[in-house]
């Protein structure tokens, strides 16, 4: 089935998701996969929408004409046929937490890249540390290890990196 990738950013407000999803429904398309988040008052959306070609063309036209009125900057792309890269890969949950400091995400993801580990999902945030109240950096994600990659070895390498940069890093099977 044809697919359209939609990204949207703008000021957050109540009802924004309802407005967007109503347009998808009205043209007879379907919201297949999406991520939506309020980033400290800024709405961000990444969505994969499926439907017949005429429905996706209608949705594109509708969003182009009404996006500004909703306060959103939108971009739309026709999605190429996807090929599954998950075959033979094993999913794990990754969690990193530390006192906030620059470079944590960069250094952790560089180590993952060295081992051809794919990041399926990734979220970062700053929280207030329990009891101390100091800024705590948290990175959570889902990664897939290529077939033949040792989870034990990855845990050891992540622990070594964690010691080097002052982070706790957990890697658990899903």
CATH 3.30.70.260 maps onto the chain at 3-78, 90-173
Q: How confident is the model at residue 82 (pLDDT cuts 50, 70, 90)?
A: low
Question: What is the mean pLDDT of the segment spanning 50-78?
Answer: 95
Question: What is the mean pLDDT of the segment spanning 102-124?
Answer: 96
Higher pLDDT, 103 or 88: 103
Query: What pLDDT, on a 0 to 100 scale, did the predictor assign at position 161?
Result: 98
Query: What pLDDT, on a 0 to 100 scale, did the predictor assign at position 87?
Result: 65
Question: What is the mean pLDDT of the segment spanning 18-23?
Answer: 95
Spell out the SS3 assignment of the chain.
CCEEEEEEEEECCCCHHHHHHHHHHHCCCEEEEEEEEEECCEEEEEEEEECCHHHHHHHHHHHHHHCCCCCCEEEEEECCCCCCCCCCCEEEEEEEEEECCCCHHHHHHHHHHHCCCEEEEEEEEEEECCCCCCEEEEEEEEEEECCCCCHHHHHHHHHHHHHHHCCEEEEEEC
Give the CATH number of domain 90-173: 3.30.70.260
Question: What is the mean pLDDT of the segment spanning 55-81?
Answer: 94
Pick the CATH number of 3-78 from 3.90.1150.10, 3.30.70.100, 1.10.10.10, 3.30.70.260: 3.30.70.260
pLDDT digits (tens, 9 = 90+) for 27-61: 999 999 999 999 999 999 999 999 999 999 999 99
């Amino acid at each position: 089935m044809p697919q359209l990738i939609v990204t949207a950013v703008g000021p957050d407000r109540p009802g924004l998701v309802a407005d967007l999803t109503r347009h998808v429904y009205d043209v007879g398309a379907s919201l297949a996969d999406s991520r939506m988040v309020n980033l400290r008052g800024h709405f961000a959306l990444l969505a994969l929408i499926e439907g017949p070609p005429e429905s996706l063309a209608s949705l594109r036209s509708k969003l182009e004409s009404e996006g500004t009125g909703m306060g959103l900057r939108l971009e739309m792309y026709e999605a190429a046929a996807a090929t599954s890269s998950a075959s033979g890969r094993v999913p794990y949950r990754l969690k990193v937490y530390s006192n906030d400091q620059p470079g944590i995400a960069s250094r952790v993801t560089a180590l993952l890249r060295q081992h051809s580990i794919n990041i399926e999902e990734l979220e970062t945030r700053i929280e207030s540390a329990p009891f101390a109240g100091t800024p705590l950096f948290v990175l959570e994600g889902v990664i897939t290890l290529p077939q033949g990659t040792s989870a034990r070895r990855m845990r050891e390498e992540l622990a070594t990196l964690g010691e080097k940069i002052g982070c706790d890093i957990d890697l658990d099977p899903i």
